[in-house]
Amino acid sequence: MVDVVLGAFYGDEGKGKIIDYLSKDSKYAVRFSGGNNAGHSIEVNGKKFAFHLVPSGILNKDVKAILGNGVVIDPKVLIEEINNLKENGYTVDNLYISDKAHLILPYHIELDGMLEDIRKERKIGTTKRGIGPAYSDKFERSGIRMEDFISSNFKKLLKINIENKNVILKVYGYEQMDFDKIYKEYKEYSKILKPYICDTTTMLHKAIKNGEKILCEGAQATLLDIDFGTYPYVTSSNPTIGGVCTGTGIGSRYINDVYGVIKAYSSRVGEGPYVTELNDEIGDKIRELGHEYGTTTKRPRRCGWLDLVALNYAIMLNGITGIALNHLDTIGKLDKIKLCVAYDYKGKREEYFSTNLDFFE
Ligand code: IMP
């Protein structure tokens, strides 16, 4: 009943296109992890949409598009996306937001930048969208959930959090957050988003009972997973298969097909090791041919050959049942292409992926 599309490498594999295709016979499109660090570009009838938060399946009006509890939501960005969709003739009444999803607030964004600065040479190269600090608050249990956002508790919770964050920001000499200003602005956002907020887990279980097809849309990718990626050069959530269960409330027994999306070459944004990276004119050529510039941050992506060792790891971890291979036409423009089939580690052939940084580097 439940199919999953997820990234098998470092993200930007072209999941949006595959999701759009597969959602044609789905009744639900569900995002389960990440936030607006993601970027899905989809072209429909000549119009290009760049989504960061809303599920790509939203463009199909027969699909209920859900932001699951595992997603972290910047309300400002979400409202911009809703408005953009409305301006383009979409009603957006097929959007549902989990009451358990956590908020990204201005102090998370400020802290994301601050943490990058104080990490010095251990900088991660985050998207600076507040993702890590929002998940930190969730797990530290001071996060604000959607159900709090639309309740009378919001003011009190926001005040406590801003007071606490201001202490940290002051220590490092960063700008203080203004509670009154933020509360006023975000109270308005909560009114706009209120109609979309509900118990999406129960909704999904009703759908499963009714035999309706659900498509879970991964954001980021396997090698950026907080547990299984190249830690610490990862995102702060689980874009791998386990994230589907914890980020939606759907049990693993309902999961059927798991599609791993890859490109016929590879790319990565941000810092961290990348074995098949090409720091030469072939890498530059791939970047230009594949338009490898970030949807979210516009950063040029690092490019290289397809790494089959990493792909095997992704297949193993996620129980991938099918591969969607994008950009074959792009790589086909080169005279010669290479594939990584094993690593050469201290003169020894290694066919297994390890996230150990010493090994990787
Ligand atoms: P964060 O998720 O903004 O904290 O960034 C952590 C790392 O994940 C950085 O290297 C980002 O470039 C990378 N990252 C986050 N989201 C995406 C994505 O959607 N595609 C590719 N890389 C991403």
Whole-angstrom distance between the N-terminal and C-terminal Cα of the chain?
41
Average pLDDT of the chain is: 95
Stronger pLDDT, 109 or 51, i.e. the higher one = 109
Q: Which atom of ligand 1 is nearest to the CA of 38?
A: 19
**118 & 254 share domain:** no
- Our mutation pick for probing the ligand 1 site, out of 36, 129, 138, 220, counting the most ligand atoms within 8 A of Cβ, is 220
Give residue 116 CA to ligand 1 midpoint distance, Å.
13
Handedness of CA 205, 209, 212, 218 (dihedral sign): positive
CA 162 to each of CA 116, 156, 174, 356: distance values in angstroms, whole numbers, following the listed order:
20, 10, 13, 37
Instruction: Report yes or no: 263 and 11 within 8 Å, Cβ to Cβ.
Output: no
Asked if residue 23 and residue 136 are part of one domain, the reply reads no
d(CA 347, CA 227): 28
Q: Are residues 87 and 203 in the same domain?
A: yes
86 shares a domain with 216: yes
pLDDT at 300 over 80: yes
Domain CATH number, residue 43: 3.40.440.10
Q: Are residues 202 and 87 in the same domain?
A: yes
pLDDT (0 to 100) of residue 5: 97
The ligand 1 atom at the shortest distance from the C-alpha of residue 12 is: 20
Give the pLDDT band of residue 296 (cuts 50, 70, 90): confident
Which pLDDT score, from 0 to 100, does residue 44 have? 80
Claim to verify: residue 17 and residue 70 sit in the same structural domain: yes
Same domain, yes or no: 175 and 207 = no
Rg (CA), the chain: 20
Q: What residues flank ligand 1, with Cβ below 6 Å?
A: 11-12, 37-39, 124-127, 129, 131-132, 219-220, 224, 233, 235-236, 269-270
Among the atoms of ligand 1, which is closest to the Cα of residue 237?
2
pLDDT at 23: 84
Could you list the residue range(s) of the whole structural domain that residue 313 is in? 263-360
pLDDT band at 358 (very low <50, low <70, confident <90, very high): confident
Q: How far is the CA of 139 from the centre of ligand 1 (A)?
A: 19
As given in the structure block, the two tokens for residue 56 are 């790509």
Quick one: which atom of ligand 1 is closest to the CA of 271? 10
Cα 57 to Cα 30, 51, 205, 360, distances in angstroms:
8, 11, 19, 36
* Pair 55, 65: CB distance under 8 Å: yes
Residue 297 pLDDT more than 80?
A: no
Residues 313 and 284 in one domain: yes
pLDDT, one tens digit per residue, over 38-65 is 988 777 888 888 889 999 888 888 999 9
Which of 193, 213, 229 terminates a domain? The answer is 193
pLDDT of residue 82: 96
Nearest Cα neighbor of 296 from 107, 114, 50, 105 is 50
| Domain containing residue 340: CATH number | 3.90.170.10
Residue 8 and residue 310: Cα distance in Å, rounded?
8
- Ligand 1: which residue has its CA nearest to atom 8? 235
Are 139 and 156 members of one domain?
A: yes
Q: List the structure tokens of 180.
A: 């009154």
- Picking from 221, 210, 219, the residue whose alpha carbon sits closest to that of residue 254 is 210
- Catalytic residue list: 12, 40
Percent of the chain with pLDDT over 90: 87
In this structure, the residue with its CA closest to atom 20 of ligand 1 is: 11
Q: Is the same domain home to 202 and 81?
A: yes
Tell me which of 222, 245, 261 is where a domain ends.
Answer: 261
User: At 140, which CATH number?
Assistant: 1.10.300.10
Q: Residue 39 CA: which ligand 1 atom is closest? A: 19
Residue 154 CA to ligand 1 centre (angstroms): 29
Q: Ligand 1 pocket check: which of 235, 267, 297 to mutate, most ligand atoms within 8 Å of Cβ?
A: 235
The domain tally of the chain equals 3
Q: Is there a contact between 301 and 272 (Cβ–Cβ < 8 Å)?
A: no
Say how far apart CA 54 and CA 65 lie, in whole Å. Answer: 8
- Is the domain of 61 the same as that of 188? no
Distance from the alpha carbon of residue 233 to the mean position of ligand 1, in angstroms: 9
Closest residue to atom 15 of ligand 1, CA basis: 37
Same-domain pairing of 296 and 340: yes
Domain stops at, among 144, 163, 193:
193
Q: What is the mean pLDDT of residues 98-119?
A: 97
Token couple for 142: 């001071």
d(CA 53, ligand 1 centre) in Å: 14
The residue-averaged pLDDT of 178-197 equals 98
